[in-house]
């Protein structure tokens, strides 16, 4: 019984070895061949690196990321400080406040001037007109009185002759004499008043000239206020410019991706344009695969393809050809090609149709391109080894 069991076991082992050997021989002799519409190539996941740098000179105050960190568009990467720009900002703020106080003071002065100076000018005009009118009336009275005095003098001489001849009583002559003196005194009083009015007119004219001159102060104040406003606007523009510079001191990520290299450290002084970190845009990663001259001639932009990662051989990542190199290069050491005699290859960029979180910069991958959009494999098992 034992002998029979041993014979059966031996037979099974021999049969198993035969089947396994046959399968291995079959795989060696009958290698899978690619369909004529399929092109395969190897390469690495690549992407366009972006240096995120500072626009202005400054010292790094704080860095918020490290190598390998995921970053998002709009995220603050680092903060740069500049004592010079901060001092300029404070100085401009002080100047703006001082100019605004001056503007407020001049506006008050202008309002007062507009309320008083025109009224003073009108009063000066009215006073001058009143005195001119008064002197005209006075001159009429003087003219009339001068004629009266002239007549009084004639009467005086005539009555004096009559008195000397004894033709009139002395009392009558004295009455004529008294009237002459009275009218002369009245005339002198009017002449004195005329001189007084002339002096007052001169003063009124001077006051009017001064009032008119003072009115110019309103124009001067208005011009000064406009100049102050222009100065404030200029300072505000300078302030906004420095605010923009200080805002630029916040280093903002322009992309969604990962930090590839942290170039600068806290406390370092950076010149304008110097990089803080190097990053790659996750959405722009692609497979840079290599194909020979013959296959390169078959590929065109827009051809459909898939990308396979070694870690996920059964997960094809839909992709499309976005770039075909126009210049051949020597085969990179890490790249496998079908024919060992092929020394020069062309780079082809195969980009995922949509961003894929599995893609990482520098990891190896296999790209498969269909020149007619058909027959793309679902697994690495469906294609021959390169």
Mean pLDDT score, 110-116: 86
Q: Which contiguous run of DSSP H or E holds residue 68? A: none
Give the whole-angstrom CA distance, residue 229 versus residue 235: 10
If one compares 151 and 338, the residue with the highest pLDDT of the two is 151
Return the C-alpha torsion angle 129, 130, 133, 134, nearest 10.
-150
**Burial 332-361, CB ≥16 within 10 A → b, else e:** eeebbbeeeeeeebbbbbbbbeeebeebbe
pLDDT tens-digit series, residues 326-366: 887 776 655 555 554 456 888 999 999 998 888 888 899 99
Token duo for residue 20: 């396994």
Mean pLDDT score, 108-127: 86
CA-to-CA separations, 355 to 47, 89, 99, 284, in angstroms, rounded: 12, 43, 55, 8
DSSP secondary structure letter of residue 332: P
Helical ranges in 78-169 per DSSP H: 83-164
Question: Which residue shows structure tokens 């969604």?
Answer: 256
Please check the confidence at residue 251 and state whether its pLDDT lies above 90. yes
Look at residues 322, 372, 384, 366 and name the one whose alpha carbon lies nearest to residue 348.
322
Burial of 292: CB neighbours in 10 Å, binned 0-12, 13-18, 19+? buried
Mean pLDDT score, 188-193: 92
Which residues are registered as beta bridge partners of 246? none
Mean pLDDT score, 205-231: 89
Mean pLDDT score, 117-121: 83
Look at residues 214, 227, 2 and name the one whose alpha carbon lies nearest to residue 120.
214
Q: What is the pLDDT of residue 382?
A: 80
Mean pLDDT score, 90-107: 94
Which residues are registered as beta bridge partners of 329? 345
pTM: 0.58
Confidence of residue 26 (pLDDT cuts 50, 70, 90): very low
Please check the confidence at residue 230 and state whether its pLDDT lies above 90. yes
Question: Which residue shows structure tokens 């396994």?
Answer: 20
Q: What is the pLDDT of residue 340?
A: 47
Give the whole-angstrom CA distance, residue 193 versus residue 183: 15
Token duo for residue 206: 């001077």
Among residues of the chain, what percentage have pLDDT more than 70? 88
Report the chain's mean pLDDT, rounded to a whole number: 86
Q: What is the pLDDT of residue 332?
A: 66
Q: Name residues whose C-beta falls within 8 Å of residue 286's C-beta, 6 or more positions apart in sequence.
A: 45, 46, 47, 319, 322, 323, 349, 350, 351, 352
pLDDT tens-digit series, residues 271-316: 999 999 999 998 889 999 999 888 888 899 999 999 999 888 999 9
Crossing angle between the packed helical segments 83-164 and 170-248, to the nearest 10 degrees = 170
Give the whole-angstrom CA distance, residue 248 versus residue 53: 10
Query: Positive or negative CA dihedral for 207, 212, 218, 219?
Result: negative
First to last CA, the chain: 52
Q: What is the pLDDT of residue 29?
A: 46
Mean pLDDT score, 176-191: 91
If one compares 305 and 9, the residue with the highest pLDDT of the two is 305
pLDDT tens-digit series, residues 359-386: 888 899 999 999 998 889 998 888 777 6
Question: Residue 346: what are its φ and ψ, rounded to 5°?
Answer: -115, 140
Q: Name residues whose C-beta falls within 8 Å of residue 121's C-beta, 6 or more positions apart in sequence.
A: 208, 211, 212, 214, 215
Give the whole-angstrom CA distance, residue 105 versus residue 98: 11
Q: Name residues whose C-beta falls within 8 Å of residue 329's C-beta, 6 or more positions apart in sequence.
A: 344, 345, 346, 347
Give the whole-angstrom CA distance, residue 70 versus residue 283: 13
The secondary structure of 294-318 as a DSSP string is HHHTT--TT-EEEEEETTEEEEEEE
Please check the confidence at residue 201 and state whether its pLDDT lies above 50. yes
Please check the confidence at residue 166 and state whether its pLDDT lies above 90. no
């Amino acid at each position: 019984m034992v002998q029979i069991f041993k014979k059966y076991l031996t037979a099974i082992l021999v049969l198993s070895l035969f089947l396994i050997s046959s399968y291995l021989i079959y795989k060696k002799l009958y290698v899978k061949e690619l369909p004529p519409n399929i092109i395969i190539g190897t390469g690495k996941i690549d992407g366009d690196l972006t240096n995120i740098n500072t626009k202005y000179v400054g010292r790094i105050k704080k860095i918020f990321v490290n190598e390998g960190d995921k970053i998002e568009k709009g995220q603050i990467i680092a903060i740069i400080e500049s004592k010079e720009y901060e001092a300029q900002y404070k100085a401009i703020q002080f100047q703006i406040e001082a100019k605004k106080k001056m503007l407020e003071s001049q506006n008050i002065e202008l309002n007062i001037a507009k309320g008083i100076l025109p009224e003073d000018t009108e009063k000066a005009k009215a006073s001058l007109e009143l005195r001119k009118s008064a002197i005209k009336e006075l001159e009429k009275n003087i003219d009339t009185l001068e004629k009266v005095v002239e007549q009084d003098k004639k009467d005086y001489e005539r009555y004096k002759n009559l008195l000397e001849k004894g033709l009139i009583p002395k009392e009558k002559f004295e009455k004529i004499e008294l009237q002459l003196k009275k009218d002369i005194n009245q005339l002198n009083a009017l002449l004195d008043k005329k001189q007084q009015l002339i002096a007052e007119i001169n003063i009124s004219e001077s006051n009017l000239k001064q009032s008119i001159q003072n009115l110019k102060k309103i124009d001067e104040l208005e011009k000064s206020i406009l100049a102050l406003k222009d100065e404030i606007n200029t300072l505000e523009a300078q302030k906004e410019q420095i605010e923009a510079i200080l805002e630029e001191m916040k280093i903002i990520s322009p992309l969604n991706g990962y930090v590839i290299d942290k170039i600068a450290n806290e406390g370092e002084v950076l010149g304008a344009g110097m990089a803080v970190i190097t990053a790659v845009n996750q959405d722009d990663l692609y497979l840079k695969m290599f194909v020979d001259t013959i296959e390169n001639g078959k590929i065109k932009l827009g051809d459909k393809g898939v990308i396979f990662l070694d870690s996920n051989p059964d997960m094809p990542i839909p992709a499309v050809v976005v770039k075909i190199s126009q210049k051949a290069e020597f085969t990179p050491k890490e790249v496998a090609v079908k024919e060992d005699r092929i020394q020069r290859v062309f780079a082809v960029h195969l980009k995922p149709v949509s961003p894929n979180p599995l893609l990482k910069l520098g990891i190896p991958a296999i790209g498969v391109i269909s020149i007619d959009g058909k027959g793309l494999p679902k697994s690495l098992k469906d294609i021959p080894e390169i």
